[in-house]
Amino acid sequence: MKALITGGAGFIGSHLCDHLVAQGHEVIVLDDLSTGSLSNLSQLEGSAKLRFVQGDILDRELVDELVAEADTVFHLAAAVGVYNIVDNPLRSLRINLHGTENIVESAVKHRVPYMIASTSEVYGKNDADGLKENDDRIYGSPTKSRWSYAAAKGLDELVAYVHGVESGVPCVITRFFNVVGPRQTGRYGMVVPRFVDQALSDEPITVYGTGTQRRCFGSVFDVVPQLTKLMDTPEAYNQAVNLGGREEVSIKGLADRVVELTGSGSAISYIDYDQAYGEGYEDMQRRYPDTSLATRLIGFEPTRDLNDIIGSIVEHRRSADSVPAPV
Ligand code: UDP
């Protein structure tokens, strides 16, 4: 099989490349290297199975050419990270809306099965215990730019879904809940690599708000193998499927855990949301997934707990040449 992976030089995309190449497949990576990095693919350097194309998912001609060559498309390219979204609202919207539309339209035109990556952000402020795929979405005001990501990704799901239903081309929508692991950068906001980098350099751990907000982090190693399984499961087509972990933790609890596991001398520093992200930022208090649909469809069971997840990130950072300082 030849797979096109948009965003293949990014965090989740590069792990998917590893997974597919290990299974003997060929991959074409389309990435603009805006937040991804070629170093995420260095382990595959020289492999005849990998072709890297630097380019933009807004480039319709290029997208169409690459989709036409592929047997499957995994669309993971996106503008991600709260800082990125808040600092570049228009570019983020274009990438996340029109970029996805380009990919889906080409996939349908060439009748190539496609997966699009979505996010637990689509639930917005719904903090129900165990969010299920068809639960309501509650978004804040569009003047608060953090909601543009949730709104765009919500529409992406709709674009993928409607095209999938109308064309009959296999369509999978995956909803990732705070998926973390080695290669994720903290530069654009993601909390776990930020805390790990801060702990390893004995800098203050920057907890935003009161730290009582809760998240449930999923391991990239648990999630990535599910993507190919979902593509091979017709019952999974034309619906969103939650993927994530089981262990919920408060952000203060996460900070304590990172300090403990790294043996760091870092203190915890509480920072107001306004100072962290700009005025009027609204955080989600809780985001806990119900992953029973994925369990039913493909037998999904997360195997790594939070300590394993943090440990894998610490190990990766320690083995890297330098610890990138969070911005
Ligand atoms: N967060 C924090 N310190 C940081 C970065 C993030 O306390 O240096 C908080 C953030 O406000 C949120 C949680 O950690 O409550 C998870 O943030 P992330 O951006 O990783 O994911 P998301 O907000 O999309 O769940």
More confident residue, 323 or 205: 205
Query: How is residue 81 written in tokens?
Result: 């990270």
Ligand 1 binding pocket includes 238 (Cβ within 6 Å)? no
Mean per-residue pLDDT, 123-133: 94
Q: What does the CA dihedral 174, 286, 272, 220 come to, rounded to 10 degrees?
A: -40
Active-site residues, by number, are 149
pLDDT confidence band for 218 (50 / 70 / 90): very high
As a whole number of angstroms, the distance between CA 72 and CA 94 comes to: 24
Q: Which residue has the tokens 């792990």?
A: 15
Sign of CA dihedral 147, 148, 154, 157: negative
Q: What is the pLDDT of residues 26-77, one digit of tens each?
A: 999 999 999 999 999 999 999 999 999 999 999 999 999 999 999 999 999 9
Report the separation in Å between the CA atom of 205 and the middle of ligand 1, taken as the mean of its atom positions: 12
Residue from 120, 194, 251, 273 to probe ligand 1 pocket by mutation (most atoms less than 8 Å from CB): 251
Q: In the prediction, which pLDDT does 261 show?
A: 97
Ligand 1 binding pocket includes 213 (Cβ within 6 Å)? yes
User: Is pLDDT at 201 greater than 50 in this prediction?
Assistant: yes
Helix (H, G, I), strand (E, B) or coil at 131: strand
Closest CA to 195 of 278, 288, 262, 274: 262
Report the separation in Å between the CA atom of 278 and the middle of ligand 1, taken as the mean of its atom positions: 14
Does the reported pTM lie above 0.90? yes
Q: In the prediction, which pLDDT does 21 show?
A: 98
Q: Are 79 and 100 in contact (CB under 8 A)?
A: no
pLDDT confidence band for 4 (50 / 70 / 90): very high
Neighbours of 82 (CB within 10 A): 21
pLDDT confidence band for 321 (50 / 70 / 90): low
In this prediction, the answer to ipTM > 0.90 reads yes
Helix orientation angle between 100-109 and 146-167, rounded to the nearest 10 degrees: 10
Helix (H, G, I), strand (E, B) or coil at 88: coil
Closest CA to 197 of 209, 186, 212, 208: 186
User: Is pLDDT at 325 greater than 70 in this prediction?
Assistant: no
Buried b (16+ CB within 10 A) or exposed e, 282-311: eebebbbbbbebbeebbebebebebeebbe
Ligand 1 binding pocket includes 206 (Cβ within 6 Å)? yes
Q: What is the pLDDT of residues 227-242, one digit of tens each?
A: 999 999 999 999 999 9
Ligand 1 binding pocket includes 201 (Cβ within 6 Å)? no
Q: What is the pLDDT of residues 161-171, one digit of tens each?
A: 999 999 999 99
Query: How is residue 62 written in tokens?
Result: 């290029």
